[in-house]
Amino acid sequence: MEKIPFMDLAAQNKSLESELNAAIAEVVQSRSFIQGAPVERFNKDFLRLHGGTYGVGCANGTGAITVALRALNVGHGDEVLVPNHTFIATAEAVVEVGAKPVLVEIDSEYRQLDLKDAARRMTAKTKAILPVHLYGLPEPMDQVMAFAREHKLKVVEDCAQAQLAKWKGQAVGTFGDLATFSFYPGKNLGAFGDAGFILTENAKHFEFIERYINHGRQDKYLHQFFGSNYRMDGLQGAVLATKVTRLAAWTERRREVAKQYDESLKGFRVLQPRAESVPVYHLYVVEVSNRQEVMDAFKRENIDCGIHYPIPLSCQPAFAPLGYKEGQFPVSEEMSARILSLPFFPEMTVEQMKRVVGVFRGVAKA
């Protein structure tokens, strides 16, 4: 039986093979290995396509959050509100700058930040909030921004999984003080290695991040402050500049595939976008009460699937020193035990989807 992959990067690369090879050859020839013309081209193209005023490519999505927090002067003694249900990188960046991540429960309907819970976890040290547009499903940014204004918090949007997503017609990442993206190979727009992006509407923050990611440089050997090295590679810039020309079409296909799944999976709990959003479906996530049985059935039928993420941050060993333990976040713990990400990619065929749905329906319990 032919394998159905979780995502099909081979199909995506095949469709662009000659363009990608030419773009890579050009970098080798011009030796623009670090930043340079390919990265500058990508910066402009991504900014234009996604929306936003200032932006710069960087080394990866985790570093992007770290740099964004540094731009906001978040550090030792500060606390940052982070959803308990996200990839660990969101919280790691907070730790990296010396601040304390304070985990926030998710709501039981959309499985996004529970702002009432966030209010309960505020202290005099709370300086920022880090909403995550997980799975490409936008957070309700007007509510998040109202909360941030009320409590005088800075906002960094983690858009790692939400390239081109919108909330009420406005690009995610343009609501907060800064926003960050990941171009990890499996993302909706993925590099051939690590890469990320930082977006802001604020010229001063932009000036800081451009310098910070390049050793605080003003000139080749003139350093205004201690920065670091979070630059994007030229090869990644060239790959991304090539692939970004297809991102809108791939995203449209993601929406179509998600719609077909929605129609075939009526009666099951599928994570749904809020009505006011334009989602981009990085993943297609369902919830079941017998996940292991469903995964076993997929395995027998040569179908790949995933869990994003099986352990909430509060139950990760890394968080134990911060005093978190099992039982403290019932909604995220229950969700983590039930979620399953189905095979999902723009090139998915009707036949592949029928096979996935057939196996799923044959065994899954809501």
Choose between 94 and 364: whose C-beta lies nearer to ligand PLP.
94
In the chain, the N- to C-terminal Cα span, in Å, equals 27
Q: Which of 32, 35, 43, 60 binds ligand PLP (CB under 6 A)?
A: 60
CB of 308 to ligand PLP, least distance (A): 8
Residue closer to ligand PLP by CB (options 87, 261) is: 87
For residue 202, the minimal CB distance to ligand PLP (Å) is 21
Can you list the positions of beta strands (E) in the chain?
A: 54-58, 79-83, 100-104, 126-129, 154-158, 166-167, 170-171, 178-182, 196-200, 217-219, 222-223, 269-270, 277-278, 284-287, 339-342
Which of 181/261 has CB closer to ligand PLP?
181
196 interacts with ligand PLP by CB under 6 A: yes
Stretch that binds ligand PLP, among 16-24, 48-56, 57-65, 107-115 (CB under 6 A): 57-65
Burial 324-349 (b: 16+ CB within 10 A, else e): beeeebebbbebbebbbbbbbbbbbe
Q: Between 58 and 331, whose beta carbon lies closer to ligand PLP?
A: 58
Taking CB under 6 A as the rule, does residue 306 contact ligand PLP? no
DSSP 121-183: T--TTEEEE--B-GGG----HHHHHHHHHHTT-EEEEE-TT-TT-EETTEETTSSSSEEEEE-
Helix, coil or strand: residue 301:
coil
- What SS3 state is found at 265? coil
Contact window for ligand PLP (CB under 6 A) among 107-115, 154-162, 344-352, 356-364: 154-162
Q: Which is nearer to ligand PLP, 131 or 343 (CB)?
A: 131
Count the neighbouring beta carbons within 10 Å of the beta carbon of residue 47. 18
Residue 160 lies near ligand PLP (rule: CB under 6 A):
yes
| Least distance CB 358 / ligand PLP (angstroms) | 30
280 and 353 Cβ atoms separated by less than 8 Å:
no
Binders of ligand PLP: how many residues, by CB under 6 A? 16
What string marks each residue from 82 to 111 as x (binds ligand PLP by CB under 6 A) or -? Answer: ----xx-xx---------------------
Which chain residues interact with ligand PLP by CB under 6 A?
Answer: 60-62, 86-87, 89-90, 132, 134, 158, 160-161, 182, 184, 194, 196
